[in-house]
Every structure is written in structure tokens, then in C-alpha cells.
Amino acid sequence: MADALQVLMTRRSVREFLGTQLSDDEVKTIVDAGLHAATAMNRQSWHFTVVQDRRLLDAISGAVGAVMVDSGIPSLIERARTTGFSCFHHAPTVIFVSSDGSHYSLADCANASQNMCLAATALGLGSCYIGSFVQAFDHPSGKHLLAQFGLPENYKPVFSIALGHAAKAAFTEKEREWKVSYIR
């Protein structure tokens, strides 16, 4: 298990995965990390859905592609039509984080998502936070897919985490100093 600060500093979005599936223990550790995130008033206003069904992931990605094509934005249309397009970068496991829509729920869901990305890094796995799928479930080609999640009433997916074994190292140094001010 890697040192906590090293994990924080080295997590990077991975967008190329090997086909190897995560073990059940790895999935459990990652989900547990999400469940240990801070939540406003300890409401735990989320629901996690672990999807390892390739056909369902491809169908959701197909609906994302349809949303991109309907947008009329040339760069999105081109991307959606790229051979092998997958909004989940073909990750073998995707964990969807759904919100109950309450006031602080987006923060709760984001905290859990980040915890899961960090847990993946600690386990030597790759992860990528994905938000681009959300509109797919409102699109005619994707509405029926959400029914398969069997979510509690009023819950909607807001983020997802693509997970797998990284096909190549994603680490890059980043200069972020200018985002911080100190008043002393």
C-alpha cells in the first residue's frame, strides 16, 4: 500500500486500459474508500453502481455518442464518430455515483468519487473520473439503460469512475502554484 501523500500527488487520469478485469477484492476496497468519504450531515446522499457488463457500458457510450452527434458541435461529432469511441475509455469496470438531488449531494458524490480514484491509485490501478455520460440517460437512445440500474427513487447518476489496469503510465508533473494565494 502506497504512502497517502504519494497517492494524492501521483493520481492521474488514465485513459488507456488493459483488458484485465479488477479482482472482487480490489472493487470492494475501492467501493469502501468511496463509502468512507465525508458527507454533509453524514447523509451519505449517494448510491454506487458497479458495472462490469461490457454490453451495458458500450450501450451507454453509444448513447453518449448520440448526444454528441445531436449537439451539432463539429469537434464532438468527429470524436463520437471516431472508430472505437468509448466515453469510458474501454475500462473493464465503471462505478457510477448517483445523487439523491439534495442540497450538498453533488459535493458528497464528488468526495466519494475522488476517494475511489485515490484508492485505485493506492492499489496500483488506473482510474479516470468521467462526467460526460450524464446527458445520455436523458437521450431517447439512453433513457431505457438507466432502468437497468434499479436506483432508489429520485437518484440520478452524476459522476462515474472508469477503472482498470493502466496500459501506460499517465503521470505528468503539473505546475499548480498560481492557483494558490497566501495572506499572512
Q: 18 vs 91, 93, 163, 167, CA distance in Å?
A: 8, 11, 10, 5
On whether the CB atoms of residues 88 and 135 are closer than 8 A, the answer is: no
Which is nearer to ligand FMN, 129 or 149 (by Cβ)?
A: 129
Beta bridge partners of 166: 17
Cα separation, 75 vs 72, in Å, equals: 9
Least distance (Å) from ligand FMN to the CB of residue 184?
Answer: 28
Least distance (Å) from ligand FMN to the CB of residue 82?
Answer: 14
Which is nearer to ligand FMN, 48 or 159 (by Cβ)?
A: 159
Beta bridge partners of 17: 166
Interface residues with ligand FMN (CB under 6 A) are: 12-13, 15, 128-132, 159
The single residue listed with the C-alpha cell 478485469 is 21
Which is nearer to ligand FMN, 4 or 169 (by Cβ)?
A: 169
Cα separation, 73 vs 28, in Å, equals: 39
Least distance (Å) from ligand FMN to the CB of residue 45?
Answer: 17
Least distance (Å) from ligand FMN to the CB of residue 160?
Answer: 8
Which is nearer to ligand FMN, 97 or 146 (by Cβ)?
A: 97
